[in-house]
Amino acid sequence: MAAAESEKQGRIPDALRIFQDSEVQRDILLYFVLPSIALMAIYALPRSEQLLEFEARNPTLVGILGSNLAHRSLSHISNNIAGYWLLGGGAYILTERTKSAHIYRYAFIAYLVILPFVASWTVIRIFSNHPEILAEYESVGFSQTVGAVTGFLPIAIASYYSKLIRGNVIWTADVMWSTIGLFGLGISVAFYNLGQLNNSILVVAGMAVFVLIYVGHRLTQQLDFLADRRVFYFIFSVLLFLIGIQSLFPSSAPAGIYAHMAGYVWGFLLPLAGITGAEIFRRIRASMD
Protein backbone atom coordinates (compact mmCIF):
# COMPACT_ATOMS: atom_id res chain seq x y z
CA MET A 1 0.00 0.00 0.00
CA ALA A 2 2.77 2.40 0.96
CA ALA A 3 4.70 1.49 -2.19
CA ALA A 4 1.64 2.18 -4.34
CA GLU A 5 1.12 5.51 -2.63
CA SER A 6 4.80 6.39 -3.17
CA GLU A 7 4.54 5.45 -6.84
CA LYS A 8 1.43 7.62 -7.17
CA GLN A 9 3.26 10.52 -5.55
CA GLY A 10 6.13 10.05 -7.97
CA ARG A 11 3.84 10.47 -10.97
CA ILE A 12 2.61 13.85 -9.74
CA PRO A 13 4.65 16.81 -11.07
CA ASP A 14 6.51 18.71 -8.35
CA ALA A 15 4.64 21.92 -9.17
CA LEU A 16 1.29 20.24 -8.39
CA ARG A 17 2.21 18.43 -5.17
CA ILE A 18 1.57 21.59 -3.21
CA PHE A 19 -2.16 21.15 -3.87
CA GLN A 20 -2.18 17.81 -2.01
CA ASP A 21 -1.52 19.62 1.25
CA SER A 22 -4.70 19.84 3.35
CA GLU A 23 -3.81 23.35 4.57
CA VAL A 24 -3.38 24.56 0.99
CA GLN A 25 -6.71 22.98 0.03
CA ARG A 26 -8.36 24.79 2.95
CA ASP A 27 -6.82 28.11 1.92
CA ILE A 28 -7.95 27.67 -1.68
CA LEU A 29 -11.47 27.06 -0.42
CA LEU A 30 -11.49 29.99 2.02
CA TYR A 31 -9.58 32.61 0.06
CA PHE A 32 -10.41 31.76 -3.55
CA VAL A 33 -13.44 29.49 -4.03
CA LEU A 34 -15.78 31.00 -1.42
CA PRO A 35 -14.97 34.65 -2.34
CA SER A 36 -15.66 33.82 -6.01
CA ILE A 37 -18.99 32.22 -5.11
CA ALA A 38 -19.88 35.23 -2.93
CA LEU A 39 -19.09 37.65 -5.77
CA MET A 40 -21.29 35.71 -8.18
CA ALA A 41 -24.10 35.53 -5.62
CA ILE A 42 -23.96 39.31 -5.09
CA TYR A 43 -23.93 39.88 -8.84
CA ALA A 44 -27.08 37.73 -9.15
CA LEU A 45 -28.96 39.94 -6.66
CA PRO A 46 -31.28 42.48 -8.32
CA ARG A 47 -29.88 46.03 -8.40
CA SER A 48 -26.73 45.03 -6.46
CA GLU A 49 -24.64 47.37 -8.59
CA GLN A 50 -26.81 50.40 -7.79
CA LEU A 51 -27.12 49.52 -4.10
CA LEU A 52 -23.40 48.94 -3.48
CA GLU A 53 -21.84 51.47 -5.85
CA PHE A 54 -19.24 53.87 -4.48
CA GLU A 55 -19.94 57.51 -5.34
CA ALA A 56 -17.06 59.89 -4.63
CA ARG A 57 -19.46 62.85 -4.40
CA ASN A 58 -21.44 61.10 -1.65
CA PRO A 59 -19.37 58.32 -0.02
CA THR A 60 -21.27 56.00 2.31
CA LEU A 61 -20.18 53.05 4.44
CA VAL A 62 -22.18 50.67 2.26
CA GLY A 63 -20.65 52.09 -0.89
CA ILE A 64 -17.09 52.00 0.45
CA LEU A 65 -17.27 48.39 1.62
CA GLY A 66 -19.76 47.04 -0.91
CA SER A 67 -18.46 48.52 -4.15
CA ASN A 68 -15.54 46.09 -4.08
CA LEU A 69 -18.03 43.22 -4.25
CA ALA A 70 -20.48 44.40 -6.94
CA HIS A 71 -20.08 44.27 -10.73
CA ARG A 72 -21.66 45.84 -13.79
CA SER A 73 -21.68 42.87 -16.17
CA LEU A 74 -20.85 39.20 -16.55
CA SER A 75 -17.62 40.02 -18.38
CA HIS A 76 -16.71 42.49 -15.61
CA ILE A 77 -17.04 39.91 -12.84
CA SER A 78 -15.46 37.08 -14.84
CA ASN A 79 -12.40 39.20 -15.69
CA ASN A 80 -11.96 40.21 -12.05
CA ILE A 81 -12.34 36.67 -10.73
CA ALA A 82 -9.91 35.33 -13.34
CA GLY A 83 -7.43 38.12 -12.53
CA TYR A 84 -7.70 37.43 -8.81
CA TRP A 85 -7.16 33.69 -9.22
CA LEU A 86 -4.18 34.24 -11.51
CA LEU A 87 -2.40 37.05 -9.63
CA GLY A 88 -3.58 36.21 -6.13
CA GLY A 89 -2.94 32.52 -6.76
CA GLY A 90 0.61 33.25 -7.90
CA ALA A 91 1.22 35.37 -4.79
CA TYR A 92 -0.27 32.72 -2.51
CA ILE A 93 1.83 29.89 -3.97
CA LEU A 94 4.99 31.96 -3.53
CA THR A 95 4.18 32.56 0.15
CA GLU A 96 3.34 28.89 0.60
CA ARG A 97 6.70 27.91 -0.84
CA THR A 98 8.41 30.25 1.64
CA LYS A 99 6.35 28.94 4.59
CA SER A 100 4.69 32.33 5.00
CA ALA A 101 1.18 31.74 3.64
CA HIS A 102 -0.18 33.28 6.85
CA ILE A 103 0.94 36.67 5.51
CA TYR A 104 -1.30 36.23 2.47
CA ARG A 105 -4.24 35.25 4.71
CA TYR A 106 -3.83 38.36 6.88
CA ALA A 107 -3.35 40.52 3.79
CA PHE A 108 -6.53 39.21 2.16
CA ILE A 109 -8.56 40.04 5.27
CA ALA A 110 -7.01 43.53 5.31
CA TYR A 111 -7.91 43.95 1.63
CA LEU A 112 -11.58 43.30 2.44
CA VAL A 113 -11.82 45.32 5.67
CA ILE A 114 -9.17 48.08 5.60
CA LEU A 115 -8.33 48.58 1.93
CA PRO A 116 -11.77 49.92 0.86
CA PHE A 117 -11.46 52.83 3.30
CA VAL A 118 -7.88 53.86 2.53
CA ALA A 119 -8.31 53.32 -1.23
CA SER A 120 -11.52 55.40 -1.32
CA TRP A 121 -9.85 58.13 0.71
CA THR A 122 -6.88 58.08 -1.70
CA VAL A 123 -9.08 58.47 -4.78
CA ILE A 124 -10.97 61.37 -3.19
CA ARG A 125 -7.69 63.06 -2.26
CA ILE A 126 -6.26 62.58 -5.77
CA PHE A 127 -9.23 64.35 -7.34
CA SER A 128 -9.83 66.84 -4.50
CA ASN A 129 -8.91 69.75 -6.81
CA HIS A 130 -11.13 68.43 -9.60
CA PRO A 131 -14.71 68.54 -8.30
CA GLU A 132 -16.02 67.90 -11.82
CA ILE A 133 -14.34 64.47 -11.77
CA LEU A 134 -15.52 63.67 -8.23
CA ALA A 135 -19.06 64.60 -9.22
CA GLU A 136 -19.09 61.86 -11.85
CA TYR A 137 -16.79 59.30 -10.23
CA GLU A 138 -18.62 56.04 -9.55
CA SER A 139 -16.96 52.69 -8.97
CA VAL A 140 -17.79 49.02 -8.49
CA GLY A 141 -15.73 45.89 -8.95
CA PHE A 142 -13.31 43.49 -7.31
CA SER A 143 -10.48 45.06 -9.32
CA GLN A 144 -9.54 46.99 -6.17
CA THR A 145 -8.58 43.67 -4.57
CA VAL A 146 -7.01 42.45 -7.83
CA GLY A 147 -4.86 45.58 -7.72
CA ALA A 148 -4.01 44.83 -4.09
CA VAL A 149 -2.81 41.27 -4.75
CA THR A 150 -0.78 42.65 -7.66
CA GLY A 151 0.82 45.04 -5.16
CA PHE A 152 1.42 42.05 -2.88
CA LEU A 153 3.35 40.18 -5.60
CA PRO A 154 6.60 42.21 -5.18
CA ILE A 155 6.64 41.16 -1.51
CA ALA A 156 5.98 37.52 -2.38
CA ILE A 157 8.58 37.52 -5.18
CA ALA A 158 11.23 39.12 -2.95
CA SER A 159 10.51 36.56 -0.22
CA TYR A 160 10.96 33.74 -2.71
CA TYR A 161 14.17 35.34 -3.96
CA SER A 162 15.49 35.39 -0.37
CA LYS A 163 14.50 31.73 0.02
CA LEU A 164 16.38 30.81 -3.15
CA ILE A 165 19.67 32.49 -2.30
CA ARG A 166 19.70 32.08 1.50
CA GLY A 167 17.48 29.08 2.19
CA ASN A 168 15.19 31.21 4.34
CA VAL A 169 13.20 34.45 4.20
CA ILE A 170 15.46 37.12 5.68
CA TRP A 171 14.54 40.76 5.11
CA THR A 172 18.04 42.05 4.39
CA ALA A 173 18.71 45.30 2.55
CA ASP A 174 18.97 43.67 -0.88
CA VAL A 175 15.69 41.78 -0.40
CA MET A 176 13.94 44.96 0.72
CA TRP A 177 15.33 46.89 -2.25
CA SER A 178 14.18 44.17 -4.63
CA THR A 179 10.69 44.52 -3.15
CA ILE A 180 10.68 48.30 -3.54
CA GLY A 181 12.18 48.07 -7.03
CA LEU A 182 9.49 45.71 -8.31
CA PHE A 183 6.79 47.85 -6.71
CA GLY A 184 8.26 50.93 -8.37
CA LEU A 185 8.07 49.20 -11.73
CA GLY A 186 4.29 49.04 -11.38
CA ILE A 187 4.12 52.75 -10.55
CA SER A 188 6.28 53.52 -13.58
CA VAL A 189 3.97 51.54 -15.89
CA ALA A 190 0.93 53.32 -14.47
CA PHE A 191 2.33 56.81 -15.07
CA TYR A 192 3.66 55.82 -18.48
CA ASN A 193 0.18 54.68 -19.53
CA LEU A 194 -1.20 57.93 -18.14
CA GLY A 195 1.26 59.85 -20.30
CA GLN A 196 2.74 61.54 -17.23
CA LEU A 197 6.39 60.58 -17.39
CA ASN A 198 8.79 62.90 -15.57
CA ASN A 199 12.31 62.69 -14.20
CA SER A 200 11.18 61.18 -10.90
CA ILE A 201 9.27 58.39 -12.64
CA LEU A 202 12.21 57.73 -14.94
CA VAL A 203 14.46 57.37 -11.89
CA VAL A 204 12.00 54.90 -10.35
CA ALA A 205 11.85 52.96 -13.62
CA GLY A 206 15.64 52.90 -13.85
CA MET A 207 15.89 51.62 -10.28
CA ALA A 208 13.36 48.89 -11.07
CA VAL A 209 15.35 47.72 -14.10
CA PHE A 210 18.56 47.76 -12.06
CA VAL A 211 16.89 45.66 -9.36
CA LEU A 212 15.78 43.05 -11.90
CA ILE A 213 19.32 42.87 -13.34
CA TYR A 214 20.82 42.60 -9.85
CA VAL A 215 18.41 39.87 -8.77
CA GLY A 216 19.13 37.91 -11.95
CA HIS A 217 22.86 38.27 -11.36
CA ARG A 218 22.58 36.99 -7.77
CA LEU A 219 20.53 34.01 -8.87
CA THR A 220 23.09 33.06 -11.51
CA GLN A 221 25.79 33.23 -8.84
CA GLN A 222 23.97 31.21 -6.20
CA LEU A 223 22.12 28.61 -8.28
CA ASP A 224 22.52 26.44 -11.34
CA PHE A 225 20.45 28.90 -13.35
CA LEU A 226 19.44 26.55 -16.17
CA ALA A 227 19.06 23.34 -14.16
CA ASP A 228 17.24 24.53 -11.03
CA ARG A 229 13.50 24.44 -11.75
CA ARG A 230 12.86 26.89 -8.89
CA VAL A 231 14.52 29.58 -11.01
CA PHE A 232 12.02 29.01 -13.79
CA TYR A 233 9.19 29.38 -11.28
CA PHE A 234 10.76 32.63 -10.09
CA ILE A 235 10.99 33.89 -13.69
CA PHE A 236 7.38 32.89 -14.32
CA SER A 237 6.31 34.83 -11.20
CA VAL A 238 8.11 37.97 -12.40
CA LEU A 239 6.50 37.63 -15.84
CA LEU A 240 3.12 37.17 -14.16
CA PHE A 241 3.71 40.39 -12.23
CA LEU A 242 4.68 42.26 -15.41
CA ILE A 243 1.53 41.05 -17.18
CA GLY A 244 -0.52 41.98 -14.12
CA ILE A 245 0.67 45.58 -13.90
CA GLN A 246 0.15 46.11 -17.63
CA SER A 247 -3.41 44.76 -17.37
CA LEU A 248 -4.08 46.71 -14.19
CA PHE A 249 -3.12 50.08 -15.68
CA PRO A 250 -4.65 50.21 -19.17
CA SER A 251 -3.96 53.41 -21.12
CA SER A 252 -7.58 53.33 -22.33
CA ALA A 253 -9.00 54.07 -18.85
CA PRO A 254 -7.09 56.91 -17.13
CA ALA A 255 -9.64 57.39 -14.31
CA GLY A 256 -9.61 53.66 -13.69
CA ILE A 257 -5.82 53.72 -13.48
CA TYR A 258 -5.98 55.94 -10.40
CA ALA A 259 -8.53 53.66 -8.73
CA HIS A 260 -6.45 50.59 -9.52
CA MET A 261 -3.30 52.42 -8.41
CA ALA A 262 -4.89 53.06 -5.01
CA GLY A 263 -5.53 49.33 -4.64
CA TYR A 264 -2.03 48.51 -5.87
CA VAL A 265 -0.25 50.96 -3.54
CA TRP A 266 -2.19 50.00 -0.42
CA GLY A 267 -2.03 46.34 -1.37
CA PHE A 268 1.74 46.75 -1.11
CA LEU A 269 1.88 49.01 1.96
CA LEU A 270 -0.56 47.16 4.24
CA PRO A 271 1.26 43.78 4.32
CA LEU A 272 4.66 45.51 4.27
CA ALA A 273 3.65 47.46 7.37
CA GLY A 274 2.55 44.22 9.02
CA ILE A 275 5.81 42.44 8.13
CA THR A 276 7.88 45.40 9.37
CA GLY A 277 5.90 45.64 12.61
CA ALA A 278 6.22 41.90 13.25
CA GLU A 279 9.97 42.03 12.58
CA ILE A 280 10.45 44.98 14.97
CA PHE A 281 8.42 43.18 17.63
CA ARG A 282 10.48 39.99 17.13
CA ARG A 283 13.75 41.87 17.53
CA ILE A 284 12.51 43.66 20.66
CA ARG A 285 11.50 40.34 22.22
CA ALA A 286 14.84 38.80 21.25
CA SER A 287 16.74 41.65 22.88
CA MET A 288 14.74 41.21 26.11
CA ASP A 289 15.40 37.45 26.39
How do the domains of the chain map onto residue ranges? 2-288
Model-level pTM? 0.89
pLDDT-based confidence at 14, cuts 50/70/90?
low
**CB count in 10 Å sphere of residue 275:** 20
259-277: pLDDT as tens digits: 889 999 999 999 999 988 8
Between residues 229 and 143, which one has the greater pLDDT?
Answer: 143
pLDDT-based confidence at 75, cuts 50/70/90?
very high
Residues 6+ apart with CB under 8 A from 274: 103, 106, 107, 110
Q: Whole-number mean pLDDT of the chain? A: 86
User: CA quadruple 219, 220, 224, 230: dihedral positive or negative?
Assistant: positive
Please compute Rg for the chain using Cα positions. Answer: 20
pLDDT-based confidence at 2, cuts 50/70/90?
very low
Amino acid at 279: E
What's the rounded Cα separation, in Å, for the pair 208 and 188? 9
* Contact present, 19 and 93 (Cβ < 8 Å): no
Mean pLDDT of 143-154: 95
In order of 7, 122, 131, the CA distances from 156 in angstroms are 32, 24, 38
Whether the per-residue pLDDT at 33 is higher than 70: the answer is yes
Residues 6+ apart with CB under 8 A from 171: 162, 275, 279
Whether the per-residue pLDDT at 93 is higher than 80: the answer is yes
pLDDT-based confidence at 196, cuts 50/70/90?
confident
Question: What pLDDT, on the 0 to 100 scale, is given for residue 23?
Answer: 93
Question: Which secondary-structure segment (H or E) carries 116?
Answer: helix 115-126
Mean pLDDT of 225-244: 83
How does strand 54-55 pair with strand 138-139? Answer: antiparallel
Question: What pLDDT, on the 0 to 100 scale, is given for residue 263?
Answer: 93
Residues 6+ apart with CB under 8 A from 161: 175, 178, 215, 218, 219, 234
What's the rounded Cα separation, in Å, for the pair 189 and 186? 5
Question: What pLDDT, on the 0 to 100 scale, is given for residue 255?
Answer: 64
